[in-house]
Homo-oligomer: A and B are copies of this chain.
């Protein structure tokens, strides 16, 4: 029986999980095939640019999610801060899921995806800065940088120690720093 046509949209989350689980280099075409259930030809049909184009699409998709669910609420004002923390805790599965942009930033992939990675973090810091200023907190920019860095570091240490508790501790501290 012929396989029914998959949509480009529907496979992007599957590619994302594959990249998260194996890293950019570790996610070989064979891995991406089995993660999506598609053959090589199908993948290249959706993404003529190959693996790099798939990763770019995945990063864009994550970026879009954060824009809608995190950045936009932040740009609406102080109330977005709580929304952000809840959204982040949920998105990163309380520290069990890594941040692709953070992972790529530390590795060789930083050069290849520099603009996308940079935009993700600068948009985040900028939106959070706005919300913290709206909340009347002092030094909103520095606070925003600390909070975003804390979240990223929380993911690193939670994975290193294999302890989601560490992420919870960091997130609690970041909430306090952000006036929650």
Contact = CB atoms under 8 A, between A and B. Distances in A.
30 contacts: A23-B25, A23-B108, A25-B25, A26-B108, A98-B106, A101-B160, A103-B107, A105-B156, A105-B157, A105-B159, A106-B156, A106-B159, A110-B159, A117-B160, A118-B160, A121-B160, A122-B161, A142-B169, A145-B166, A145-B170, A146-B169, A146-B173, A148-B157, A149-B150, A149-B153, A149-B156, A149-B166, A150-B150, A153-B156, A173-B177
Given A102-B160, A107-B107, 20 more contacts: A25-B26, A101-B160, A102-B106, A103-B107, A105-B156, A106-B106, A106-B155, A106-B159, A118-B162, A121-B157, A121-B160, A142-B172, A146-B169, A146-B170, A148-B153, A150-B150, A152-B152, A152-B153, A153-B153, A173-B177
Interface in A1-55: 21-23, 25-26
A106 B102 CA distance: 8
Chain A, interface size category, equals 35 or more
The dominant DSSP class at the A interface is: helix
A70 interface: no
Number of copies: 2
A156 B155 CA distance: 11
Contacts of A125: 157, 161
B145 A157 contact: yes
Contacts of A145: 157, 166, 169-170
A125 to B, nearest CB: 8
A151 interface: yes
